[in-house]
Chain A
Amino acid sequence: MSTLRELQADLRAALLGGPQGPAAAAVREDGLAAEARLAIYRHHVLATLTDVLKATYPVICRLVDERFFAYAADRYIRRHPPTRPCLFEYGGPFADFLETFPPCRHLAYLPDVARLEWAMNVAEHAGDVVTLDGRALRSVETADIPRLRFIFDPSLALLASPWPIDRIWRANQPDAADGTVDLAAGGARLEVRRVVDDVVFRSLEPAPWAFRSALAAGRALEAAAAAALTLDAGFDLAGALRELLADGVLTAFTLPPEESTS
């Protein structure tokens, strides 16, 4: 007789499309084949997880059509089943999966559109935080300012793509007036975040995008400013810092010891 652990491992394999035999052997038929009984569960698992992916990636679903999406989702779910019960956290690697999924390799912009949809999903569910009050920075000595590092609102993401993913996203909303996008229109540098209840994204110029990206990656203010200045010699650091505080995207600052400044 199999132990519970072995039985659950057999069922796990069967429900994700693996071999049915070992799980079926443990099932009492009661007038219906064990495989048919397992299929009821397998169908539910795949259908509900496909619905979760569809809800997180509505633009991808629209771009590739629903049938192809269901096919891609089926492959994705078998390869990357959820590891945790909170399903709003499910589906993060879908963009990477699409990048290597042979049937959609010709849609080169698809993975970056998926990254935008995932960032919006993360923003929607990110934990609530208290915004950093700029007055707290008054206590920082002038000489220490270059070493400042910031913690960002967890709803914020900075994305860059060679494709106009913002236009693609907007053109594929249910209420979009014009569904055409010029793929040669150029790339996008976006900031995604939740403002009160609404998930929004906006386009940033290269220098401010590089500045915020460096800070969000945990780099010091001096290094972030340098990254921006290489793109725009006229980058206004004081103005950019004021904007960061005014936008309410920071939650805390740290002043690590000097030697670790980079």
Chain B
Amino acid sequence: MDTGIGLRAPHVVEILAARPPIAWLEVHAENYMGGGAALRDLEALRLEYPLSVHGVGLSLGSADGIDGGHLHRLRALVDRLQPCLVSEHLSWSIASGVYLNHLLPLPYTDESLTLLARHVDQAQTALRRRLLIENPSSYLRFRQSPIPEAEFLAALAQRTGCGLLCDVNNVYVTAHNFGLDPGRYLMALPAAAVGEIHLAGHSVNDADGRPILIDDHGSRVADEVWTLYARARERFATTPALIEWDTNIPPLAVLLGEAATADAITHDVARRGPGVYAA
């Protein structure tokens, strides 16, 4: 399957009118939990394009448990849209009834793993389908966090049967911010579990004289991330990939151009065989 794009409000009218060739679309679940034009337009688009639903609000890592009301709304949306993929994040956003509107980092401990596994089971049971869990971009990690993130995800997939969403930009951002090797991270993910790839732009920010990468989805995919994507393609040859762009959203053609770049790399890796980008 070729590379899809995240559907964003400024492009909906154009896509509805012109029906351009797009491999598939992904939407953020929480934007479609009301009524009105947004949901109706999406119901029209899903007849034409394969659709994926990407949740950002389930807060699977909340120590307080999953908000049952929100899970119910997600299930109603998934039942209505019948997407080909449903995904969420390895993160938390809700503590003591407050939603912090950020995919916040977890300490990777046995306690977290047990909790995540319980919540992923709960969500998969309610949704009656397999979830893909995405690796986050991180700007901090905890003192007490003994399990490497990729191994934590592998264990979660093994325990719950969930799939993984490998966000290549997030791998790059997190690895850069902590001085880790992104290639090793990719190698530690269980290839058979990876059911989707994300690509997006990041920004380079100065934090006390030190460059910190921020996953702001506000620019083209960085060259270093394209290189890492080629390496990811050697491991996850046929996994569907997606371009995300959420801030400073450009014309649709720019997103489709990024998707075409991803396709070219995918086909190039497939043609040349593995090992070319490994260095």
Residues of A within 8 A of B (CB): 1, 3-5, 7-9, 11-12, 15-16, 26-28, 30-34, 36-38, 40-41, 44-45, 48-49, 52, 81-89, 124-129, 155, 194, 197
Docked complex Cα distance between A87 and B107 (Å): 26
**Of B34, B36, B112, B212, which contacts A4 at CB under 8 A?**
B112
Docked complex Cα distance between A197 and B39 (Å): 11
**Is B37 among interface residues, defined by CB-CB distance under 8 A?**
yes
**Is B208 among interface residues, defined by CB-CB distance under 8 A?**
yes
Contact indicator B96/A197 (Cβ below 8 Å): no
Contact indicator A32/B98 (Cβ below 8 Å): no
Contact indicator B140/A27 (Cβ below 8 Å): yes
> Chain B 196-233, CB within 8 Å of chain A: the 1/0 string?
00000000010110101010000000000000000000
**Of B30, B73, B102, B212, which contacts A32 at CB under 8 A?**
B212
Docked complex Cα distance between A94 and B36 (Å): 23
Main secondary structure of the interface of B (DSSP, over half): mixed
B89 to chain A, nearest CB (A): 12
Docked complex Cα distance between A7 and B64 (Å): 12
Contact indicator A41/B102 (Cβ below 8 Å): yes
Chain B contacts for A127, CB-based, 8 A: 34-35
Chain A contacts for B106, CB-based, 8 A: 4
How many pairs of residues, A versus B, come closer than 8 Å at their CB atoms? 140
Contact indicator B92/A83 (Cβ below 8 Å): no
- A82-B98, A83-B99 are contacts. A4–B107 as well, Cβ < 8 Å? yes
Chain B contacts for A84, CB-based, 8 A: 57, 67, 69-70, 99
- A9-B95, A15-B102, A125-B36 are contacts. A28–B63 as well, Cβ < 8 Å? no
**Is B178 among interface residues, defined by CB-CB distance under 8 A?**
yes
Docked complex Cα distance between A13 and B59 (Å): 17
A216 to chain B, nearest CB (A): 18
Other than A8-B95, A32-B212, A44-B102, give 16 A-B pairs with Cβ distance below 8 A: A4-B107, A4-B109, A7-B107, A32-B207, A37-B140, A37-B207, A40-B205, A41-B102, A52-B101, A81-B99, A82-B101, A84-B70, A85-B93, A85-B101, A124-B34, A127-B34
Chain B contacts for A3, CB-based, 8 A: 63, 111
Who on chain B is nearest to A129 by CB?
A: B35
Determine which residue in B37, B69, B95 has the highest number of CB atoms from chain A within 10 A of its CB, and name it: B95
A194 to chain B, nearest CB (A): 6
A49 to chain B, nearest CB (A): 6
**Of A45, A48, A86, which contacts B34 at CB under 8 A?**
A86
27 inter-chain pairs at a CB distance below 8 angstroms, sorted by A residue, are: A3-B63, A4-B106, A4-B107, A11-B95, A26-B142, A27-B140, A27-B141, A27-B143, A28-B141, A30-B141, A30-B178, A32-B208, A32-B212, A37-B140, A38-B140, A40-B139, A40-B205, A40-B214, A48-B102, A81-B100, A85-B56, A85-B58, A85-B101, A125-B38, A126-B35, A155-B36, A197-B36
Contact indicator B140/A41 (Cβ below 8 Å): yes
Chain A contacts for B147, CB-based, 8 A: none
Docked complex Cα distance between A220 and B122 (Å): 44
Contact indicator B92/A8 (Cβ below 8 Å): yes
Contact indicator A33/B208 (Cβ below 8 Å): yes
**Is B144 among interface residues, defined by CB-CB distance under 8 A?**
yes
B127 to chain A, nearest CB (A): 16
Contact indicator A128/B212 (Cβ below 8 Å): no
Which 8 pairs of residues, A with B, have the shortest CB-CB distance? Answer: A85-B57, A125-B34, A5-B63, A37-B140, A128-B35, A127-B35, A12-B95, A8-B95
**Of B36, B69, B97, which contacts A126 at CB under 8 A?**
B36
B39 to chain A, nearest CB (A): 7
- A30-B141, A30-B178, A125-B36 are contacts. A83–B63 as well, Cβ < 8 Å? no
Docked complex Cα distance between A16 and B101 (Å): 11
**Of A4, A26, A83, A89, which contacts B111 at CB under 8 A?**
A4
Contact indicator B100/A12 (Cβ below 8 Å): yes
Contact indicator A86/B141 (Cβ below 8 Å): no
Within 41-69 of B, Cβ neighbours of A (below 8 Å) are at 56-59, 62-64, 67, 69
> Chain B 69-107, CB within 8 Å of chain A: the 1/0 string?
110010000000000000000001111111111101011
Chain B contacts for A44, CB-based, 8 A: 101-102
Docked complex Cα distance between A16 and B93 (Å): 13
Docked complex Cα distance between A25 and B208 (Å): 19
> Chain B 104-125, CB within 8 Å of chain A: the 1/0 string?
1011010110010000000000
